[in-house]
Amino acid sequence: MRKDDELHAEEDRRVKKELETRNEAEHVAYRTERLLKDNQEKISAVNEVKVAL
C-alpha cells in the first residue's frame, strides 16, 4: 500500500499544482475585472481595455 501511495504522490502533486495555478489565474481575472469596473469613471476611453474571456 505504501508503494502505491509513493507511485501516486507525484501525480497528486502535479494535480494540486495545476489546480492552484488555475485558481490563481481565475482570481487574477476576477480582481482585474473588479478593478476595471470599480474605476471605470477614472479610465479614459483611449486607455480603456476590454478583456474578453
The model's pLDDT over 4-53, given as tens digits with 9 standing for 90+, comes to: 777 789 899 999 999 999 999 999 999 999 998 888 877 765 566 665 54
3-state secondary structure of 37: helix
- Dihedral over Cα of 5, 8, 9, 12: its sign: negative
pTM equals 0.64
pLDDT given for residue 4 in this prediction: 77
Helix (H) or strand (E) holding 34: helix 2-38
Chain centroid to CA 22: 5
Largest CA distance in the chain: 62
